[in-house]
Structure 1
Amino acid sequence: MTKKIILLLIFLISIKITHAQEIINISGNSITVQEFKNTLMKNNHNREITKEYLDEYVELFINYKLKVLQAKEMGLDREESFVSELEMYRKQLAKPYLQAKEFKEDLVNEAYERMRYDVSASHILFKLDENFTPSDTLLKYNIAKKVKSRIESKEITFEQAVSEYSEENFNNGNLGYFTVFDMVYPFETAVYTTEVGGVSDIVKTQYGYHLVKVNDKRLAVGEVKVSHIMFKFPKGVVDEKSSDLIKSKAVEVYNKLNSGEDFTVLADRYSEDRSTAVKGGELPWFGLNKMAKEFEEASFSLESVGDFTQPFKTEYGWHIIILNDKKVIGSLDDHKEDIKRKIDKGSRNLLSELALLKKLKLDYNFTEHKYNKYRKNIVKESIDLDKLFAALLTIEDIERYENDNRELFSLDNIVYTQEDFKNFILDYQESGLDFEMMYQRFVDFTCLEYEESKLEEKYPEYKTLLNEFRDGILLFDLTSKMVWTKAMEDTIGLQKYFESNRENYIWGDRVEANIYTCADYKVVSKLKRLLWKKSKNMVTIKDMQESINKDSPMNLQINSSKYSKGDNKFIDQVKWIKGNSQIPTESDAIIFIEITDVIPSSEKNLSESKGKVISDYQNHLEDQWLLVLREDYVITINEEVLYSIIK
């Protein structure tokens, strides 16, 4: 047993030594094999690692490190803009690590279990206003308590209680079916933890107190994909006569569907929702509470792909729907990432943060001083509380005392004082937050900031990622100064580079042409007559378009330009000689090409090729810069370690 342990320790030590081996040294700056491999594997994209591949990659890696080293030597990492940008990225990168992971997994599992069912519920709302006093809030709570007691004693039914007490009486309090994430978390929890037919305990949300009755619970209907044909109501009030007239159009299309005509073709031709009509009326996947209630009910009532509804009405118009596909709730793995995103965006995320704070306080032995309450009052008396609530405190509004260095609490044996709290109030005051809220925020902020300061020490992968961002910002800033901005602003250098490399900027053969898109052959006939007149200088292109498009702006579309090979598929289909050519298409439209000039190959001037010249000049500047860097720094590569990466 002892021998096995010794061998294991030797193995682990050998791994650690291997990872710490130097692979590259740039003027005394050591790069370990582990750092190199981390970058290599991140950019490898499953390519086979060969000697040739490593030789190529190591040169790119050295170029990258040389630029970063120069940036640091120039002090770019001390500039305010860099420090500010890195801090922003540091905050973003820290977010996944500032979570109570086990607690969040519980939230994910809970959400998935709820996702598997749809629930129907009714509620009674006792509204709370943000300006309510504690006594107002207590009064509302007691009313809710009284109503619950009356319902439980069967003195009144839930529906009667809705009518008599609820401050939101839409649809007699009936919310219909919904699923996880459709309601705020406390309300959702009350519904999913109450039996069908039962009434929940009093539940508080940001809207007030609620009593909830669960009407039904069923397996989740999942999502549907449908297409629709829509006949819109005009804006404003729609009377019965207008509605019936619009309905008659829907009925006419419905009859065409029944006689076997294609839904996609009918949607394209008749639907007044033009954003979807061009796609055959197709809508994205949707589940509960994403569409108008009538639209949702009609969609989920269809059982088989290809089934379609009779015309039905919503507040937006008359619709016909066809079912394209259905999908039920999948496995936890199928939904896990989507659930996590919704947790991060919703009120559940606050629960995750509270769980983390609780854990941090335990981990770092958060301890309030035994005189904490007294010392907090000293701070409270030293500030203008009205100005604090309005977030208008200035440095002059906070009195400072000699004993402000007294402890309020400690975290990981670090003491936080009255003075620290006063400074925090000044920096982070926010309208609507009273003194106790500010103190709680100070404690929470301190715990999170301390944990954030430990992340590089606790999580090597976070440290690696942060270093990559640090180097990436430096590289961007320096390359911008040395290459990108210089290439844009150095007009003399750009002109000289262009003159020295003119042979790289050549026009191939081109044509000057007009492309006429005709709606049908009648338009082609008119166009031919007008082209003859144009050849005699009797009409202009503008005259031609106005004449032909008198009845419809879609009769004739004209595009005029100079074209190279590959610029336009229709131009590529005709012979490049002066004259006219007609090209049929798969649609009803006919393409007519008029080549007015053939332009032989010629040199481009700078304005015609400026984008390409700037790009090439940037590459030239970067090449020159790297030559200088490689002369200024001493580079050594441990090839034995490098090629040991090959497996």
Structure 2
Amino acid sequence: MKIKYFHFLLVGGMLACAPSAKMDTNTAIDNSPQPLLTLGEEKIFADEFVHIYTKSQHFEGAEDKISKANFDKSLDAFINYKLKVIEAVNLGMEDSDEFDKEFTIFKEDLKKPFILKYSLQEGEIKKAYSRTQEVLKASHILLQFPQNASRQDSIAVLRMAEKIKAEAEEGADFNQLALEHSDDPTAEENKGDLGYFTALTMVQPFEDAAYDLSIGEISAPILTNYGYHIIKLEDRKPNPGEVRVSHILVRTNSADPVTEDRARQRIADIYTELQKPNADWNTVVENFSDDQSNKNTGGKLPWFGVGAIIPEFEKAAFELKDKGEISSPIKTAYGYHIIRLEDVREVPPYEVMEPALRSKILRDSRSSLIQTQVVAMQKSKFGYQENSGLIENIKPQIDQALGKSLQAVKSELEEKNLLDTTLITIAEKDRSVRDFIRFIESDQAVVKTSPQKFFQPWFDKFIQAELDIAEEQELLQNNEEYKMLVKEYRDGILLFSLMNDMVWQKALLDTAGLEAYFAKNQERYQWKERVPALIVKMNKEEQLSKVRRFLSNKAYSSRLKPAVEDQFLNDYPGLFELEDGVFEHANHAVLQKVDIAEKYHELKQDGRSHFLVLGSSIEPGPKKLSETRGKAIQDYQETLEKELIAELRERYPIQVNEEEKERVFEIIKK
């Protein structure tokens, strides 16, 4: 079931009778304690009607003001909608597993814009996009920790990093220091030079530090999973965007000097070949490139930006200025390349880049950091407390759950009267050890554990789940927009279920009911006067006379169409299009222009020549159900819906608070 269905049902369907206009969706409504409607035992307040109404009605000027009659129609449609929802609830549709599964999925999507995690994610995405407007050039020195490093080892590495930073700031050559001290395996070749890069191409702590530096500035030691980094910012400039290039590759073997020399000579010969006036790039690529993945497609590579590809290749690619320009041969770790520029484009707008940025952020270390921040903020907001003494008591036993069984551990805790002891408190609500055990038993997520660490991963997940529940409950209590959205979609699922069971599927499956309805309403399904006809619509005029000679003396029959096709289309494919059947001539764009008493016609329609061969006319008469089944089912559905509404209006007494109704009308009118 798609979200779009609910906009159709709740807004389009419910308020279809309302005027088409534009109204400010921020219209304020006083949350009066007086209900606008009472349907059976259920009270409906004005804010719900206004929320649904303002999603479809928008007013631009004074001339668009809603009339009292149209307002009454909209309210009447809203009453019908709410009656259906009430009936669905009373039929137990809200208690079904199908409803619960579907509603849970929708709630997860609906709450995203309102929760802390989404807010922090949006902040990271916008920060990343802002950083993509620039590219940085930096060098670094990496100092890694020894294996199984102790705290003293870590401090020693930090002290060494601080010493190297001091030397660099005192004037020592940074790249020489990188060559002497860096544990980065590429330092022997690049002396710590990382080239240009932009956002989301480095680990987050490194990126954050680099973007905070001024040109020439050296950072304090920055800790990442790789060790401590000392960063020197060499340059920063506007992002040149992305390039699309194609290339020719001649692979090399650095361990074999003979192969290296041959590759160098071969790439030089290819480059000379490309200088010839009649040289064709695609042909040269196909004949000489060693890149099997694209040699048959002109050597084309995907779009890429700064920091996304090996530096030597990237540098040569971005130095090309004109489309079709070819680089001189360059050397990379893969071999020798000749690069041709195919196209360039600027950094895409935020709306285009947002999905890719979000995906990258959710897949890198930023995601864990965001989650850590969310949990910390939730703990503070909802007054999180934990029973640390109890945790220390039960942790060793629960850690044994993999070796024994969770049920055995549960029994041991019950014997010690610990199961109903408060483990944590969130939003003044206690969660017991029993709640925690039940969470482990029922949760379907995969949690990485080990025989020594079973408790902590599950406990962290339990805390996170309970904090998320508290946040959602707080939203439902205090955020009117979210509360209305949840109610709207909950009601939408119920409405869909009721209509599907009692109207749509019933009309499709109730064959006897449909036949009875059709027989009772036969007068609605009548043919007007019809005529059998073959209509030939010419696409080409050159064979017009031949088609005329063939058709002008023919009588209409069911065999005429295949005869015309056999006569012409084998020799002249696409010469014409054929329309063959029995038509209500008064409603047909071509037939309505001719006298059906005459059996052969020629005419021009929309600039095309038409030949018509007609049979004997058929008098008006009743349609068979098989001839109009789709329309009959649609009409039967409308009848079933009207009958359902009438029954619900009879079963659930309707009371309208006229004073509240007038107040809402005046607010909307203004």
TM range (shorter): 0.5 to 0.7
Q: Is 1:470 matched with 2:484? A: no
What is the RMSD of the two structures over their aligned residues, measured on CA atoms? Answer: 5.8
Q: Is 1:430 matched with 2:446? A: yes
User: CA 1:599/1:82 → structure 2, altered by over 3 Å: closer, same or farther?
Assistant: farther
User: CA 1:288/1:380 → structure 2, altered by over 3 Å: closer, same or farther?
Assistant: same
2:412 to 397, 400, 405: 400
Cα deviation, 1:313-361, whole Å, max 9, x if unaligned, reads: 99999867577x868979xxx9998799669756545444332321222
CA contact (8 A) 1:384 1:398 kept: no
State the TM-score, normalizing by the size of structure 2: 0.65
2:392 to 368, 371, 374: 374
Cα deviation, 1:278-334, whole Å, max 9, x if unaligned, reads: xxxxxx9997678999799878966xxxx75546799999867577x868979xxx9
Read off the aligned partner of 2:38 and give its amino acid letter: N
Alignment of 1:169-184 (within 5 A): 177-184=196-203
1:358 to 362, 376, 392: 376
User: CA 1:431/1:79 → structure 2, altered by over 3 Å: closer, same or farther?
Assistant: closer
CA contact (8 A) 2:447 2:457 kept: no
CA contact (8 A) 2:39 2:653 kept: yes
Equivalent-residue separation in structure 1 for 2:501 and 2:651 (angstroms): 19
Q: Is 1:166 matched with 2:185? A: yes
Q: Is 1:443 matched with 2:463? A: yes
Q: Is 1:88 matched with 2:105? A: yes
TM-superposed deviation, 1:630: 1.8
Cα deviation, 1:43-90, whole Å, max 9, x if unaligned, reads: 213252220221110110111011111112212222222223222222
- Which of the pair has more CA radius of gyration? 2
Read off the aligned partner of 2:37 and give its amino acid letter: I
Q: Which residue of 2 aligns with 1:4?
A: none
Q: Is 1:488 matched with 2:508? A: yes
User: CA 1:127/1:638 → structure 2, altered by over 3 Å: closer, same or farther?
Assistant: same
Q: Is 1:421 matched with 2:436? A: yes
CA contact (8 A) 1:421 1:442 kept: yes
Equivalent-residue separation in structure 2 for 1:468 and 1:142 (angstroms): 60
TM-superposed deviation, 1:204: 2.6
Equivalent-residue separation in structure 2 for 1:628 and 1:170 (angstroms): 83
TM-superposed deviation, 1:365: 2.6
Read off the aligned partner of 1:432 and give its amino acid letter: K
CA contact (8 A) 2:205 2:222 kept: no
User: CA 1:340/1:174 → structure 2, altered by over 3 Å: closer, same or farther?
Assistant: closer
Q: Secondary structure at the match of 2:425?
A: strand
Q: Secondary structure at the match of 2:136?
A: strand
Alignment of 1:575-590 (within 5 A): none
User: CA 1:299/1:150 → structure 2, altered by over 3 Å: closer, same or farther?
Assistant: closer
TM-superposed deviation, 1:174: 6.7
TM-superposed deviation, 1:606: 3.7
Q: Which residue of 1 aligns with 2:3?
A: none
Aligned length: 568
Cα deviation, 1:162-197, whole Å, max 9, x if unaligned, reads: 998427999998765443345553443243134445
Q: Which residue of 2 aligns with 1:33?
A: 46
Read off the aligned partner of 1:623 and give its amino acid letter: K
Q: Which residue of 2 aligns with 1:54?
A: 71
Read off the aligned partner of 2:650 and give its amino acid letter: E
Q: Which residue of 2 aligns with 1:3?
A: none
Q: Secondary structure at the match of 1:409?
A: strand
TM-superposed deviation, 1:427: 3.3
Q: Which residue of 1 aligns with 2:644?
A: 625
TM-superposed deviation, 1:17: 7.2
User: CA 1:106/1:319 → structure 2, altered by over 3 Å: closer, same or farther?
Assistant: closer
Unaligned runs of 5+ in 2: 1-27, 253-262, 283-295, 330-335, 555-559
CA contact (8 A) 1:122 1:215 kept: yes
Cα deviation, 1:228-264, whole Å, max 9, x if unaligned, reads: 9x99999x9999799998998997899xxxxxxxxxx
Q: Secondary structure at the match of 2:58?
A: coil
TM-superposed deviation, 1:462: 1.9
TM-superposed deviation, 1:632: 2.0
Equivalent-residue separation in structure 1 for 2:577 and 2:307 (angstroms): 46
Cα deviation, 1:479-531, whole Å, max 9, x if unaligned, reads: 1111011011112222333342464465877854466766xx9xx56x98799
Q: Which residue of 1 aligns with 2:635?
A: 616
Cα deviation, 1:436-487, whole Å, max 9, x if unaligned, reads: 2222222222222222233211222222221111211111111111101101
Give percent identity, aligned residues only: 24
State the TM-score, normalizing by the size of structure 1: 0.67
Q: Which residue of 2 aligns with 1:77?
A: 94
Equivalent-residue separation in structure 2 for 1:370 and 1:610 (angstroms): 70
Q: Which residue of 2 aligns with 1:588?
A: none
User: CA 1:595/1:476 → structure 2, altered by over 3 Å: closer, same or farther?
Assistant: same
Unaligned runs of 5+ in 1: 1-14, 255-271, 277-283, 388-392, 549-554, 586-590
Cα deviation, 1:338-389, whole Å, max 9, x if unaligned, reads: 799669756545444332321222233322324145224343354126x9xx
Q: Could you tell which deviates more after superposition, 78-87 or 98-107? A: 98-107
User: CA 1:394/1:380 → structure 2, altered by over 3 Å: closer, same or farther?
Assistant: closer
CA contact (8 A) 1:313 1:319 kept: no
Q: Is 1:216 matched with 2:235? A: yes
Equivalent-residue separation in structure 2 for 1:316 and 1:121 (angstroms): 26
TM-superposed deviation, 1:410: 2.7
Equivalent-residue separation in structure 1 for 2:474 and 2:508 (angstroms): 43
Read off the aligned partner of 2:210 and give its amino acid letter: V
